[in-house]
């Protein structure tokens, strides 16, 4: 058996790293860049700083600011058409996962003919994209800056599909997360935790994903609550940004599994934030897989801060690790689905979505309709 480790982008990391954006784009000999972002980022000084950095480096700039949360496929087509009309030779995604994924997806349309629907599919394909893509995260969550996948919503079928692309640079600056609202800090931190745990426990796991995943879990368990309670805490923000980046490496090759399959079902039907969905789905996924991967769950348990005897069964480890995740969720005020106003019967109706998701095929436990039903019950009932 062999394992694969790859990373799609060189990483520039550190407090203040954002200042090198123009320099790095200029090094690529790009003449006209398109910034891909959303209205939230546009309302801060981050966009203005990006434009100035690029212009100071002699790079012309246009801005596509129409990214939406869980970006729908028509936004990709609109951004692609704008990029072509402007003759850009570089794409810069600035924001959370939605902005970065939109930039990645637009790069497909600068390489290939047709529309986004031709390439963003239920089982992702790889496109050898040619346009340089620079990704700048403003949240400590998705790790999208170092993954090859772009996840895009297909609203007409209440689903999230994806495509694999090339990227060039990740500029990862923890300072950009200081102004994050508390809810976004919580949700994105749980997103990173789900990436790390699921990346370590898929059937495609590898030793590199284990190293990055375990380190990410340790950092999140020690720093997420602090970053939530003390937004200006430089150390906590730095550690959380590094954790999200490590978690991105952890799942880039192995892919996530049933926790994300369930989270995507919630996203498609409820349109709740992706990180929130991943958080509320993760404990149920942990309980299901723990008996199948007890050694991995022991490592995860120690990383998340549990004091273990070493003789715990897989089932017991699942309960303990999920309990610790619940503790973290409560500490950062994650609301249960019931409190959010969603009905149990609606959640249970998502069984077909979970079973049919290609992500479920990476789970170490076969996801039958019965197993999926049990997971969705647990998601709704166990966190109140």
User: Can you tell me the mean pLDDT for 119-139?
Assistant: 96
Closest to 151 measured CA to CA, from 99, 189, 114, 197: 99
Beta strands in 1-68, from DSSP E residues, in sequence order: 10-13, 32-36, 60-64
Contact 350, 375 (CB under 8 A): no
- In terms of pLDDT, which residue wins out, 158 or 276? 276
The model's pLDDT over 357-383, given as tens digits with 9 standing for 90+, comes to: 999 999 999 999 999 999 999 999 999
DSSP 35: E
User: Can you tell me the mean pLDDT for 96-109?
Assistant: 97
Of 6-10, 62-66, 155-159, 377-381, minimum mean pLDDT range: 6-10
Neighbours of 281 (CB within 10 A): 29
Paired with 134 in beta bridges are 92, 169
Q: Helix (H, G, I), strand (E, B), or coil: what is residue 361?
A: helix
Q: So what's the pLDDT on residue 7?
A: 76
pTM: predicted TM-score of the whole model, two decimal places: 0.95
Q: Tell me the domain boundaries of the chain.
A: 10-176, 181-381
Closest to 239 measured CA to CA, from 218, 208, 212: 218
pLDDT band at 158 (very low <50, low <70, confident <90, very high): confident
The pairing of strands 90-95 and 149-154 is unpaired
Q: So what's the pLDDT on residue 9?
A: 85
Of 45-49, 71-75, 115-119, 158-162, minimum mean pLDDT range: 158-162
Q: So what's the pLDDT on residue 35?
A: 98
pLDDT at 156 over 80: yes
Q: So what's the pLDDT on residue 165?
A: 96
User: Can you tell me the mean pLDDT for 130-157?
Assistant: 94
Paired with 150 in beta bridges are 163
Paired tokens of 232: 């200006």
Tell me the C-alpha distance between 116 and 95, whole Å: 21
CATH superfamily placement of domain 181-381: Dehydroquinate synthase-like - alpha domain (1.20.1090.10)
DSSP 174: G
User: Can you tell me the mean pLDDT for 34-48?
Assistant: 95
Query: What mean pLDDT, rounded, does the chain reach?
Result: 96
Paired tokens of 252: 């880039």
Sign of dihedral through CA atoms 231, 213, 295, 299?
Answer: negative
Do the domains spanning 10-176 and 181-381 agree at the CATH topology level?
no
Q: So what's the pLDDT on residue 61?
A: 98
The model's pLDDT over 307-359, given as tens digits with 9 standing for 90+, comes to: 999 999 999 999 999 999 999 999 999 999 999 999 999 999 999 999 999 99
String of DSSP letters for 63-129: EE----SS-BHHHHHHHHHHHHHHT-SEEEEEESHHHHHHHHHHHHHTTSSS-GGGT-BSS--B---
Q: So what's the pLDDT on residue 5?
A: 77
pLDDT band at 4 (very low <50, low <70, confident <90, very high): confident
Residues 6+ apart with CB under 8 A from 103: 36, 91, 92, 93, 133, 135
- The separation between CA 332 and the C-alpha centre of its own chain, rounded to angstroms, equals 19
pLDDT at 58 over 90: yes
Q: So what's the pLDDT on residue 8?
A: 76
- The separation between CA 12 and the C-alpha centre of its own chain, rounded to angstroms, equals 19
Cα separation values, 103 from 106, 108, 352, 361, Å: 5, 9, 30, 27
The rounded percent of the chain whose pLDDT value lies above 70 is 100
pLDDT band at 110 (very low <50, low <70, confident <90, very high): very high
Report the largest interatomic distance among the alpha carbons of the chain, rounded to a whole angstrom: 63
Tell me the residue length of the chain. Answer: 384
Helix (H) or strand (E) run with residue 366 in it: none
Q: So what's the pLDDT on residue 174?
A: 98
Contact 182, 236 (CB under 8 A): no
Q: So what's the pLDDT on residue 166?
A: 95
| CATH of 10-176 given 3.40.50.970, 3.40.47.10, 3.40.50.300, 3.40.50.1970 | 3.40.50.1970
Helix (H) or strand (E) run with residue 133 in it: strand 133-137
């Amino acid at each position: 058996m062999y394992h694969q480790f790859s990373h799609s982008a060189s990483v520039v990391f550190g407090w203040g790293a954002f200042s090198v954006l123009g320099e790095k784009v200029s090094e690529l000999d790009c003449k006209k860049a398109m910034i891909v972002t959303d209205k939230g980022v546009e309302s801060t000084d981050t966009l203005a700083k990006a434009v100035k950095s690029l212009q100071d480096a002699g790079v012309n700039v246009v801005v596509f600011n129409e990214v939406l949360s869980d970006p729908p496929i028509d936004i990709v087509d609109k951004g692609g058409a704008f990029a072509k009309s402007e003759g850009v030779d570089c794409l810069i995604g600035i924001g959370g996962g939605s902005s970065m994924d939109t930039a990645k997806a637009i790069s497909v349309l600068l390489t290939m003919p047709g529309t986004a629907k031709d390439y963003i599919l239920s089982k992702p394909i790889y496109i050898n994209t040619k346009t340089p893509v620079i990704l700048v995260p403003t949240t400590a969550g998705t790790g999208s800056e170092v993954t090859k996948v772009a996840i895009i919503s297909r609203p007409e079928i209440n689903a999230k599909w994806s495509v694999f692309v090339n990227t060039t640079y990740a500029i990862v600056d923890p300072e950009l997360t200081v102004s994050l609202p508390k809810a976004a800090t919580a949700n994105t931190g749980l997103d990173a935790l789900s990436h790390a745990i699921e990346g370590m426990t898929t059937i495609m796991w590898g030793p590199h994903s284990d190293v990055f995943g375990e380190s990410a879990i340790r950092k999140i368990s020690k720093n997420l609550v602090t970053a939530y309670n003390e937004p200006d805490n430089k150390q906590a923000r730095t550690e959380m940004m590094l954790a999200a980046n490590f978690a991105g490496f952890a799942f880039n090759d192995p892919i996530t599994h049933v926790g994300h399959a369930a989270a995507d079902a919630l996203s498609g039907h409820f349109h709740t934030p992706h990180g929130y969905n991943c958080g509320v789905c993760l404990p149920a996924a942990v309980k299901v897989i723990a008996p199948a991967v007890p050694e991995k769950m022991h490592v995860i348990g120690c990383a998340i801060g549990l004091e273990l005897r070493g003789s715990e069964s897989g089932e017991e480890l699942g309960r303990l690790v999920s309990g610790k995740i619940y503790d973290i969720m409560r500490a950062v005020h994650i609301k249960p689905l019931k409190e959010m106003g969603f009905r149990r019967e609606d959640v249970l109706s998502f069984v077909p979505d979970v079973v049919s998701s290609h992500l479920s095929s990476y789970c170490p436990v076969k996801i039958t309709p019965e197993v999926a039903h049990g997971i969705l019950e647990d998601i709704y009932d166990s966190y109140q």
